[in-house]
Amino acid sequence: MKFYRNAIILLAVFIALTAVYLYLPQQSEDKETEDKKITVKSFSKDKLTQIDVQNQNGSLTLTKNGSDWMISKTKEYKLDSVSTDSFINSLVELKAESIVEENAQDLDKYGLKTPKSTVGLKTSDGITTVFMLGNESPIGGGYYLKTLDSNTVYIVDSNKAGDFLRSLSEFRDKAVFELKPEDVATLTLIKQEKQTLKFVKTTEWEVSTLEGNKKGNQEEISNVIDKVINLKVKDFVIDDKAVDLSKYGLDKPLYVISINLKDKPEEELIVGKDTGKDSIYVKKSSTTEVFTVDKQDINFIDKDPKEFVK
């Protein structure tokens, strides 16, 4: 037994040393690659006040309000902080893979005469810098880029180029609700204008039936509540009060999910047609915006209410 134990210990040590041996050179190689990159421009993140983005998806402006960033378009949208920080961090020290040409005269061959995207940065000390993204390099490896005030053409990697081509939806917060489980007093499912399922929170979750409230399956109901309050937008479709809701099955919805809250106004999610792409059209009754959510996240709507009774 002692022999086998020692053998196992020696094997574990060998595996750990091998991992270190393979990891350290890779780390060194990554650092060496990063060190070889060329800094196009660098900024103090704290001094950035506005970022203007224009590409094939349209135009948008990010403005700083105190320590927070907001999107200004036809209306203000709440931002996804992780996505926005990632975008800003990629700009404050923009690095290129290489310089293609200094003082380039023919910008058209790089797609920089009419760029795919322009990103303008404004700082609190009055400096404005504009980046211009051109075509993808025909030999691969990235996209052409220059600044407005210089004709030096660089290559930036595809991930960096992707930041320049972002759409509004990629910046937006995709949380449907801003709720916690303890906020919910009741959750009601209405099918074709008739109540089919209702969860009521007393000391614990109960299921409302024709015979009165019955003790609920706490785990199953809690799972439904968690899914609903943590719903994420899959795709933003349209935000227009004049939109024809019948196109999305939202004029005469099949289902309505109503959430009665303890200390907040009621929330209501209207459920429309299946998109045919594993998602379903929905909208909140308090807004004009149509969006989609994953069908799996609201699959409880087709369950038999008896499944929630203890």
Q: What are phi and psi of 263, to 5 degrees?
A: -130, 20
Higher per-residue confidence, 270 vs 303 = 270
Rounded Cα gap, residues 155 and 121, in angstroms: 20
Q: How confident is the model at residue 26 (pLDDT cuts 50, 70, 90)?
A: very low
pTM for the predicted model, two decimal places: 0.76
pLDDT, mean of residues 180-196: 89
- pLDDT, position 1: 52
The predicted pLDDT at position 250 comes to: 95
pLDDT of residue 164: 96
Q: Which residue has the higher pLDDT, 82 or 26?
A: 82
| 212 pLDDT tier (thresholds 50, 70, 90) | confident
Alpha helices in the chain, H assignment, sequence order: 2-36, 81-92, 158-164, 168-171, 218-229
The mean pLDDT value for 230-258 works out to: 92
Burial class (CB in 10 A: 0-12, 13-18, 19+), 211: exposed
Confidence label for 78 from pLDDT (cuts 50, 70 and 90): confident
Backbone CA torsion sign across 269, 273, 274, 275: negative
Q: Which helix (H) or strand (E) holds 122?
A: strand 117-123
Per the structure block, which two tokens stand in for 280? 């379903």
Average pLDDT of the chain is 87
Residues in the chain: 310
Domain positions in the chain are: 39-171, 181-308
pLDDT of 74 higher than 50: yes
Answer yes or no: is pLDDT of 191 > 60: yes
How do residues 79-109 score in pLDDT, each as one tens digit?
Answer: 999 999 999 999 999 999 999 999 999 999 9
pLDDT of the residue at 66: 87
Is the pLDDT at 219 greater than 80? The verdict is: yes
Q: Could you tell me what percent of the chain has a pLDDT over 90?
A: 70
Q: So what CATH class is 181-308?
A: mainly beta
Give the per-residue pLDDT at 28: 42
Q: What is the CB neighbour count within 10 angstroms for residue 63?
A: 15
- Residue 189 in 3-state DSSP? strand
* pLDDT, average across residues 179-197: 89
Confidence of residue 210 (pLDDT cuts 50, 70, 90): confident
Assigned token pair, 102: 């200094």
Task: Check residue 25 and give its pLDDT.
Answer: 47
